[in-house]
Structures are given as C-alpha cells and as structure tokens.
Structure 1
Amino acid sequence: MQITKETPSSTNPLDLSEIRTVIATYLNSKDSLSCMRVSRAWFQDFAPYVWHTINFDEDDIAFKKVTPEILDKYGAFISEALNITHMEDLLAIQHHKVGALKSIHVRPTRSNLYRELISGLLLRCNGSIHTLDIRCDSPSPDTLKEQRKQPEHYVRVADIIAAGGVSPSADNRITPGRGGCLRTLTLGYVCFTREGFSTLLRCSPSLDELILFRVIVMGHTKSIPLYTGSNLRRLSASLIQIYALDEEDSNAPCLLLHFPLLKNWNIMQMYRPDHWTTDPVCEDFSSWCPDLKNITFGHDNPELISNLLINTFQKVESCTPLAENLTPSTALGLIAHQATLMSIAIQGEMEDTTWTQWFHTIPRLCSNLQVLSLKSLELDSKSLDAFQWGCKDLRELRVRFKDLGDPEEIDTCLMPLCDWRRFGGGVFIPHKDKVNIETRVCQFLFQFKKLRTVWLGTKDYYLSPLYD
C-alpha cells in the first residue's frame, strides 16, 4: 500500500480569490494593473476592476488609443460606459466583446448615424443593462415649445425596452428576452408620446427607480388605455413634471397614476403647476399611490411644502426637507403627520438661526420618531430641560450643541453613556460638582433607551444596545 503525502494548503491569504477580489476594490487602476500581471488567476480577479468603467469625460484620449485587439482581450470586463457624447466615443466601443454593459450614459445628438449607433449598442447589450441614463442637451431657446420641435429630443421607446431585455409583442403582452433587468432609468430633455411612455413602463417590469427632468409626455388620447401596473418604487421628478409638461393638453392625466406601488418621491423642484390656482391644494396623491410614505422636498417655496404636507400627502413616514425651507409653517406640516412620522432628515445649511427656538415642537409632538437628523441645527444645552421630547424610541440623532464642538469634549460627553450601556443601564446620577455642558447633553441622551447612533458634530458614534 502506497501512502501519498498531501500537499499542505497555502497559508498566504493572497492565494485566495475571495481575498484578492476584496483587495481589488480598494486599489487604484495603476496598482490593479500591476496585480493583473502576477499570474492568470490574479488577472481574472483584478482585470474587471481595471476595465470596469469607461468615462469619456475623463478617459476620452486614452481609451481611443485602445486597439480592437486589446478590446478583444479586455472588452468583456467593461461594465459601465459614461458620458457617451460624441461619435468618436461610440466608435471606440463598437466591438462585439463590449456587449455586457450594466450601466450606460448617453447624450443624444442631431446626427442620425449617432442615434443608429446608440440603437445598435443598446441591442448589443440586450439583457444586461441595469442603469440607463439618456439626457439630451437643453434646446435653444430653452423652452418646452422648442424642445417639442427639435427631433433630437425624441427617444425611441423600443431602444430602451431592448436595453432591458424585454420586448412587447403585437398584443402588448410582455415577451422576456433574457429577463427584464433595467432597474434605474434617467431621462432628461426628451419627448415621448403618452402611449410610448405606457409601453415603456409595461415592458420594464423590474424598473425600480425613475428620474425625470424636463420630459414631455404628449399626445394623450382616451381611446388608448394607460398602463397602471408599474412596479416602480422610487421617483425623482418635480411637481410640474408629474403633469406631463404637455402645453397643448393641460388636462393630461397625472403621471403618478402609472405608479400604484410608489413608496419614495424626490420632488426635485417646487414650482407650482399652473392649474393649481387655489389654496389649499386639494390634490389627493394617495388615490394613485397609496403606499407613498417617503417624501424629499427640493428648493424654495416653504409655504407650498406646508400646503402639500397638510392637504395632499397622507400618513407620511419619512420626510427630507432642505434647511432653507424650514419655517413655522413647514413645522406645522410635519406635525400634521405626528402619528406616523418616523424619520426627519433635514439637509443643507440653516440661515435663520431663530428657527431653533421652536424646533423642539417637532420631537416633542412626533412621538414615533426614530431618526432625527439636522446637522446644521445648533441646540442650546441650557434649554433642554424646558422641552420634553416625546420621541422616546429615537434610534438615530444627528444635531449639534452650542459650545460642544471639540472632538475631545464630545468623547467626554458620550463616554458615560457608552459605559452605562455596556454595564446594563441603571439610574444615571450626575456629579453635583460637574454639571457642565458635557454632563447636561449626556443626561439628555440618557432618556433615549433605544438610541444606537449619535452625531454631535464630528462623526457617528455607535452605542451598544440596552437590553431590558
């Protein structure tokens, strides 16, 4: 009987493909290129990261020097092609190995050849594209009327459908190719017919996020039914955008009726639609989107924001306004949803510091809040005892306190809280001789037993869970 001695397994972690793949995500292209040359196994792990993204705004000159022979070897690793603006950009990736792009950003031009090449690229990548961004240049003059007149602003719906790997049959039923994989679609300064827009949604069953900017949806006729079964969950569009921007049909149906499962709406611009001639606004968005609970508001018009919160949105759970829009009327709109509101994340810098005087009414009345973030707000620790916050289940808090900005002071403030959590809680009794700002803030934070994340001006601090 012959005994064969087993070869000991390698103890070098770099011999594991899983480890090399993780390391590759942290390296720049130059270092990854060096790693590719170590061995065939290393080549397979590092090459996808070297060739992952081609951005023609940054890599224009270098990539156009790439020969067909090089693309034959590396083209299959390219996953993203960004800012395809010129004919030369398209010609540079006209190769059969560049056929599995997951993300494409194109800027259509007036050239018919360019548009045909775009169609060919989308067909070649049929079934692989997850993210598609099509944005035309703004017309000159920059008006909706001029946009309708210029042919380069019209997008072929069939091209977008093909990019997602799904094509409509003659009877408008969905015929899968390699699966409807299009997840995110961005459209800017383009035009569709209403029927084409419906067909696009019908043939994009996996579409989860839609970003619309100056998209004209025209030509609605009652004889053609609108598709109202989209699986879309996230929408970014202005208030005027959801009314189709069809100047020739002011009664065109709202685009929201296509999205019955919509959960998140980023209202990028707060321009008031022309047909909203009276106050208060009485549009009932919940009739089209009953699950719409998460709202992000864009710039300007705090009065309209308050109006929308009070009169149009129902049972809001998460709201993200800009700091510049914070006024007493905005606070009133937020408080209108005190029974359901769980997250308020206010972005941007505050200019009106007097707002802090009545900010406390929001956490005091919105008892279900779990996330409260306003990094530009500075609270006065001496006034904390005068306000009783009702949101005892708060899990994330991001605010600043006056005279508490030094990292060492914040560490000193949170250290007792961390120790208290670590040793199971109990009664917090501050030292009578040390009632300083750190102690006051720490004592204030002790009341939130479920608090896990705290930001006081420098970084996120993560607290241990407190078990009963």
Structure 2
Amino acid sequence: MAKAIFEIPEIVLNIAKYLSPADLAQACRVSRSWFVPFVSQLWRSIQLDQWIDGNLAPALPRYSAFVRELRCPRYIEPEVLGAQFEQLTLFRAPLLDNTNIDIFKQILRENPNINSLWVVFDRPLFTANERDEFFESVAGMSKLRSLHFSGLGFPVYPGELAHLLNKLTWLKTLVLEECYYSRLPRGTEPTALTIEQSGHLRSLSTDCFREDTLDIILEITQCSPQLEQLVMLEATVYRTNIMMSPRLEWFAEKLHSYCQHLDQLKFHACDLDQNGLACLLSAFPKLRKFEFTDCSMKHGEILAQIIQHESCRDSFEEISLQNSSSRMDPTCADEVFLLLRKFTKLKKVSLTQCKLLALDFVRSQEEFGYVLASRDLQVLSITITGPNKKWAPPEVFPEKYTPIRDDAEDEDHDLIQVPDYHLYNAVMEEFERQPKLDRSAIRFDYSWF
C-alpha cells in the first residue's frame, strides 16, 4: 500500500524547514512519526537570546542530539553547556577562560563536522601548553570553513597563524579582532613558517591594520594565495587608521605579490586619506567589489580614487557607500556620472547619500547619448532630484514628501490640465534602456525654491 504523503520522511523534513517555532511545537504533538522530524528542526538552531528561557537548560540534554547550530552567550556556566553535543556544524563558543577550556576542547573533539567556529578570549591564553593544546584542537577541525577569533588583547606569536592555516586547508573565511603581534616567551622556538599553495582562504576580515600589526595580515596572506576579499573592521578601542606612509606602500606591494586574486575590498568605520586609499587600491589590479561604511572620507573623494584606478574599469561590478547619518553629499555628482558612464561592468551601485539633479542627468544623456554604460546593471540605489514638486508623479516621492493637492489652486475644475512630466520621462527613458535594472531602489525627490 502506498504511504500517505505526510508519512514520507523526506517530505515531512522539507515542510519542517518552513514552519515557525510555534508551528513546529504543535506538529511535534500530532503523532510519534511526526515527532522526530519536527523536533529536530525545532532544536536545530539555538540562538543567543534563547538562553534566557528557563526551560532551555533542563531540556538541553534530552534534545542535544538534534542541535546543529549552537550560539552561546558570552557568559554561561560550563556545567550548563556540557559536552553532550555530537552533530554541531556551527559553534559560537562562550567567553573562553580557564574554567571552560576543557569542555571547549571536548566539544571540538566530539563534533568533527563543525564548519563555522567563533571564539572570544577572556584573556591571553593561559600557559604555553594550554595554548598549544587549544590551537591543536582548532587545527584538527578538518571541515572548518569559517573561523572567528576575538578577545581582549589576544596575542599572536609569529608563525602561529601560518601554522594554523596550513592545517586548515579548506578554511575559506577568517576574522581576527583585537589581535596583536607578541614576542615569543623565553625558551620558545618560533613556529616554522611554511607556505602551502593549496590554501583555500578566500576572505580575511581584521581590525589589525596598524603599523605594528600589518605583519599579521602579511603572514596570513603569504599562506593564502587564493585570497579574494580583504575587510578592514572597526577596532573596539580605536578607529582603524589607514594613512599614507612608506610602510603602507611596502605593505601594498607585498599584498599584491602574495595574492594575485584579490578583487574585493571593504572598509567599516575606518579613518583614511585619499593617498592611503590610492596606495591600498594598487594591491587590487582587477577590483570587482568595493564597500565603504561609516568611514571618514567623503563619498566624492572615494569615487575619485576609484575612477582614477583605471585598471579596474573592465572588472568593477559592485560599489556600496553607506553612512549612518542620512545627510546627503551634494558634492559628488560629477564623480557619480563618471562612474556610471565609464565602468561598463557595473551590476550593483548603492550610493544612498548621493544625490543627482534630474536636469544634469538629462544633460549628460543628451551630451554623451547615454548615462548608464553597463547593460548588466541590476541595482541602482540613488536619489534623483527635480526642481519642484511637480516634476514627477506624486506617487514616486517618499510618503513623507507626497504633495497634498490643494483644490483651491484650481479656479475651474473643468479645465484641469494633465501634468507634463517631460523631465521625469526623460530620466525614466534612460532607465528603461537597461534590460536587467530593478528600478525599485531608485528614489525620487524634489527641491523647494
């Protein structure tokens, strides 16, 4: 006899992926055959905020076999955490100190399929033996794809990260926060630095961008010839500072020689100048993606450096310039037009603080025959501004700016004329030439005179 559709385990498991926790809990009560597939999805991922639920700790031993993703809060008692997990693929560990390091190592041993690991250190790692045991435990995670280290003043010894990367040959993403180079303890031999050309690291995110920590980045990149993405993070205590200097120039040359595949550069809350940015860009001859969030430079200055980086004009696909403040930058219109007109491979452009005048947009279109050079453009997040509130249909404006019609303006309601949106239509004509463009991200505004 053929089984009912809801008795087929594969179908039930697939349905479970789309249900809310409340629905999953209800489904667990339907029958015994439904209990395991639905409870496994219900317990699959434990989030940080779930630990405040008083029912979690006593129930955890019973359902730990179903847990795949475990995100612990910074402070949690080792006996609560336990080591009963066996099938973790993601582990965000609690704050690591001498009270829970043994449980931490046991969890790693019992879960060889972990592919994402986040470790925060409470203090520099303990004794030399404890440190070696810790790194050997991490190095033994053969399926690790993402590794995040952070902590209060986490010292890195020369050769230590290179040794770790040579062991984790399939690691693709590495994040380092609050790390610094430290001298080796007395009587300790430096780890031999060997370069494995088979390394698969693709992305490095770090706040270690200071004169005294550039060697950490170079040690990693020297072992990671396939590296594609470099992300400069905001430091906890200080802002990452990238200013032009002989050492920065030396660093960019080394970075370029070690990693021939670099094509993605991202900055988050960094201080830098134009010369420093230009120097760092020289390490990315075929830049493809660029992201700049809450940094000190003006958008016009950033775009000017990108435009002058001529070697990337045939490779540049994505750019995102974002600031937490909502203030517009009216000084970068010329650079925006040059970017849109000269970079023929653009796919995604997000310039949320940049504003283009509709009149200038149309003039550029008339002068050059086009404004948008890329036929592959998919996203354009920017604001187009007209001279008054009647230059475009009211429905395209943000809700808070929607003009309110005043009937008193019309002396004769029978002679109401259809508005002429010729400026708006000319702008839209350019967008309609783009076969892949999603126009939903384009914003329209008007200025009052």
Short-chain TM bin: 0.7 to 0.9
2:447 corresponds to which residue?
none
Distance 1:386 1:302, change over 3 A: farther
1:397 corresponds to which residue?
379
Contact map agreement 1:306 1:332 (CA 8 A) in 2: no
Contact map agreement 1:105 1:133 (CA 8 A) in 2: yes
What secondary structure sits across from 1:156 in the alignment?
helix
What secondary structure sits across from 2:430 in the alignment?
helix
Q: 2:95 aligns with which of 108, 130, 149?
A: 108
1:354 corresponds to which residue?
330
Contact map agreement 2:318 2:348 (CA 8 A) in 1: yes
Post-superposition shift, 1:113?
3.2
Post-superposition shift, 1:293?
0.6
Post-superposition shift, 1:87?
5.3
Cα distance in 2, alignment partners of residues 81 and 274 from structure 1: 40
What secondary structure sits across from 1:260 in the alignment?
coil
Does residue 371 of structure 2 align to residue 409 of structure 1?
no
1:267 corresponds to which residue?
232
1:286 corresponds to which residue?
256
Gaps of 5+ in 2: 365-369, 398-417, 444-449
Q: 1:314 aligns with which of 285, 291, 297?
A: 285
Contact map agreement 2:328 2:354 (CA 8 A) in 1: no
Q: CA RMSD in A?
A: 3.7
Q: Matches of residues 68-107 of structure 1 in structure 2 within 5 Å?
A: 71-72=61-62, 74-86=63-75, 88=77, 90-96=78-84, 98-107=85-94
Post-superposition shift, 1:312?
3.6
1:298 corresponds to which residue?
268
CA-to-aligned-CA distance 1:14-57 (integer Å, 9 cap, x gap): 55544433443343323211111212332222112221233455
Contact map agreement 1:183 1:208 (CA 8 A) in 2: yes
Post-superposition shift, 1:187?
0.4
Cα distance in 2, alignment partners of residues 294 and 407 from structure 1: 39
Does residue 287 of structure 2 align to residue 331 of structure 1?
no
Distance 1:79 1:194, change over 3 A: same
Distance 1:376 1:273, change over 3 A: closer
Cα distance in 1, alignment partners of residues 29 and 394 from structure 2: 45
Distance 1:251 1:239, change over 3 A: closer
Identity %: 16
Contact map agreement 1:306 1:329 (CA 8 A) in 2: no
Contact map agreement 2:69 2:89 (CA 8 A) in 1: yes
Which deviates further from its counterpart, 127-136 or 376-385?
A: 376-385
What secondary structure sits across from 2:314 in the alignment?
coil
What secondary structure sits across from 1:321 in the alignment?
strand
Cα distance in 2, alignment partners of residues 445 and 154 from structure 1: 63
Distance 1:452 1:224, change over 3 A: same
Matched pairs, number: 395
Distance 1:194 1:271, change over 3 A: same
2:204 corresponds to which residue?
235
1:193 corresponds to which residue?
157
Cα distance in 2, alignment partners of residues 8 and 66 from structure 1: 40
Q: Matches of residues 110-125 of structure 1 in structure 2 within 5 Å?
A: 110=97, 112-125=98-111
Gaps of 5+ in 1: 1-6, 140-146, 167-179, 411-431, 459-468
1:344 corresponds to which residue?
319
Cα distance in 2, alignment partners of residues 394 and 160 from structure 1: 45
What secondary structure sits across from 1:402 in the alignment?
strand
Cα distance in 2, alignment partners of residues 454 and 154 from structure 1: 59
- AA aligned to 2:20 is N
Distance 1:223 1:58, change over 3 A: closer
Contact map agreement 1:305 1:333 (CA 8 A) in 2: no
Contact map agreement 1:129 1:182 (CA 8 A) in 2: yes
Contact map agreement 1:259 1:289 (CA 8 A) in 2: yes
Post-superposition shift, 1:201?
0.8
Post-superposition shift, 1:182?
0.5
Post-superposition shift, 1:390?
5.4
Distance 1:274 1:217, change over 3 A: farther
Contact map agreement 1:321 1:346 (CA 8 A) in 2: yes
Cα distance in 2, alignment partners of residues 242 and 118 from structure 1: 34
